[in-house]
A and B are shown apart, each in its own frame.
Chain A
Amino acid sequence: MIVLAIEKLTLGYQKDPLFNQFSHAFTLGCHIIQGGNGVGKSTLLSAVSGSLPYKGRILVNGHELSENGVAARRSLGFVPDSTEFYPFVTGRQFAEFVFRAHKCGLAANQPRYEELIDRFNIRKYLNYSFSQMSLGTRKKFFIFTAMLLQPLLLVMDEPFNGLDDAASKELIELFDEYSRRSTILLTCHQPAIVECIKGIRWTLEEAPHAALTASQS
């Protein structure tokens, strides 16, 4: 099953595009995008999450992202590299806000709510505002909410940045579990962690990219 299909994507600077006629199809499972600094990993993830304009087609669960954005985004959960958010919003409110935007009812009513809270150890921070949280805790709330949504496509830009060991282990286990029914697209710079994740590793070589190179399974 192809959850994310990228067709003839052109992206980046006008004279010097990072992606030129780039095409790729992502099936169910965990896909780790690797590559050096500045090769365009985050740019690719930003385009897939709908925050960068592009030329070409990005199909999420069959819906073109720029033409049918709302339907495409209903199948998408995104964790950006920067976990800044409105400073007055509490962790609980953040989850409820995202669920409200997805029209998925209340986050607190989801069957895995309690379990995921405990796995990420964020119960005591539920009523803390973003301005009061550490980088790692903010990241945990982004990941927790995306995981709770259980979307078909999970896009995570450097999800392990700032996470403690326990949370990193939980996340790796969750990837294993979610990859059976979702497509997880992530970037990660920590080799030790990448080694632990079961998934397909793709490498972005020198820009401009036209395709991904499978590096190791």
Chain B
Amino acid sequence: MPNRPSRSTVTPLGLALRYCGTEVRQRVARYKQLILIGLLLLLPGVGEFNQLILYPLSTVFGQLEGLIGAWAAAAFVGVAMLWAGLHRDAIAYPPAAGLLASLPISRQALLARDLLVLALVSLPLLILLGVALVVSQPLGIVHKVLVLLTLLLATATAQLAVIRKAVIWGAVAIVSAVIAGRIHRADILPIMVLANLLALWKMPGHVLGKTGDYRQARFITGFRRDAISWTELHWRSIYQSAHGGYRLCLVLTLSLTALAVTLCRITDKPMHELGVLLAHGALMSGLYGLSFPTALSNQATYRAFLTSLPTRRFRRMVDMVVAVEFPAMLLGLGASCFASQWQIAALALFVTALLCCIQYLTYQRLPRHAVVIGLATAIIIIVLVLNIALFTGVF
């Protein structure tokens, strides 16, 4: 019997779902340590999580007609939009976008594909919404279903608006979510449902970048300078990398820096301060170090030409470390400003710089185990530095 290609790969939807599945798997594999650390950090804060996220979201489905529900609904849709923005690569493989656009695929098929893929990548958010629905206060089943339907459709519309760059329809979705969260009237909610269905139907198709890759097309207009250095070359390649580079880490690293500063301010023991700043430096260098594979693989791609240039290897190494780790050093510097003694700040910065260089070496020599080796090395160095400081009684 002749070999037949699997049906799952011959339809646009199957292709997108397979690509999306691969993307999600790769992301989970890449960030598994971070996901684990995040989950472990969340465990002690389940109560706060309830108070901060679940309770406001459950009021959307509750009897309370107030601002909390409206804000929670708008925030949910807003977060879903950002989430979709982060995952837009998963919707369609950018280099193939031009070819896909040339195929005779119906508008409905494309809509179905995009919505299904968006639903797949937004599964954690949908589960959260489901939990909020279950724990919400009693309300008529018809009302609950209508609110849920409005919110789901508003989320889908908003996410699709981000992917397809249709701002107006995104605004319609947010407004409808706010109304659904604030007014639980059975005569208003169906109108919101209809408005979202109309938005989904009327929304324009995919906007292709000039090159077929929207990331590049978007970026080109941003920077125009004649001179370009090695550092800038790496910096820009990381900035526009498929998985976000600096952008992906920014919220997390800023939050961790704020936490480190708070801990520094409330403790009156210099050794505690030093410990916090060292741990902060290790986390920053580790998180931003995740961009080393991008910079190194780009360098490998254009190796044939780059190696013909008369630049010393050490200089290239320094340039790459600076390009990848400069946000870590900046945040380390920011946190160190709040140290009570300059010696603590200087030591913390020195250790952060050292860890940044170690990150480069591990990613270059042992890329498969770089995260684990980087973390282990950081822990050993921090323990060593703290013990030396304790033993010598400097602080």
Contacts and interface: CB of A to CB of B under 8 A. Distances in A.
A93 B227 contact: yes
Nearest to B315: A70
B219 A88 contact: yes
Interface residues of B, number: 30
Given A51-B304, A89-B228, A92-B226, A129 B216 contact: yes
Most buried by A among B213, B226, B302: B226
A76 B303 CA distance: 16
Interface in A148-162: 155
A46 B303 CA distance: 10
Interface string A82-98: 10111111101100111
B286 to A, nearest CB: 26
A187 to B, nearest CB: 14
Contact of A132 (B220, B224, B303, B310): B220
Nearest to B236: A88
B225 A93 contact: yes
A127 interface: yes
B86 to A, nearest CB: 20
Contacts of A97: 227-229, 233
B255 interface: no
B232 to A, nearest CB: 9
A88 B240 contact: yes
A132 B212 CA distance: 10
Contact of A50 (B211, B224, B228, B308): B308
Contacts of A74: 310
A132 B308 contact: no
B213 A86 contact: no
A44 interface: no
B307 interface: yes
B210 interface: yes
B228 A70 contact: no
Contact of A51 (B211, B219, B220, B308): B308
Contact of B309 (A88, A96, A101, A108): A101
B391 interface: no
Contact of A82 (B213, B233, B304, B310): B304
Contacts of B305: 51, 78, 80, 85, 142
B302 A49 contact: no
Given A84-B301, A84-B302, A86-B298, A76 B229 contact: no
Interface in A27-81: 46, 49-51, 69-74, 76-78, 80
B236 A86 contact: yes
Contact of B304 (A46, A69, A76, A96): A46
A77 B305 CA distance: 10
A114 to B, nearest CB: 15
Given A49-B304, A88-B216, A96-B227, A132 B210 contact: yes
Given A49-B308, A101-B309, A131-B211, A108 B228 contact: no
Most buried by B among A46, A82, A131: A131
Nearest to A98: B309
A70 B311 contact: yes
B287 to A, nearest CB: 24
Interface string B177-218: 000000000000000000000000000000000110100100
A93 B226 contact: yes
Contacts of A103: 310
A62 B277 CA distance: 51
A70 B312 contact: yes
B63 interface: no
Nearest to A89: B228
A70 B310 contact: yes
Contacts of A129: 216, 220
A49 B310 contact: no
Given A49-B304, A131-B211, A102 B309 contact: yes
B350 to A, nearest CB: 30
9 contacts: A49-B304, A71-B310, A86-B302, A88-B236, A93-B227, A100-B227, A101-B310, A129-B216, A129-B220
Interface of B: 210-211, 213, 216, 219-220, 223-230, 233, 236-237, 240, 298, 301-305, 307-312
Given A74-B310, A97-B233, 16 more contacts: A46-B304, A51-B305, A71-B310, A73-B309, A73-B310, A78-B308, A84-B302, A86-B298, A87-B211, A87-B213, A88-B240, A101-B311, A102-B310, A108-B226, A129-B216, A131-B220
The 10 lowest CB-CB distance pairs between A and B, nearest first, are A73-B310, A78-B308, A101-B309, A49-B308, A51-B307, A93-B228, A131-B211, A80-B304, A70-B310, A74-B310
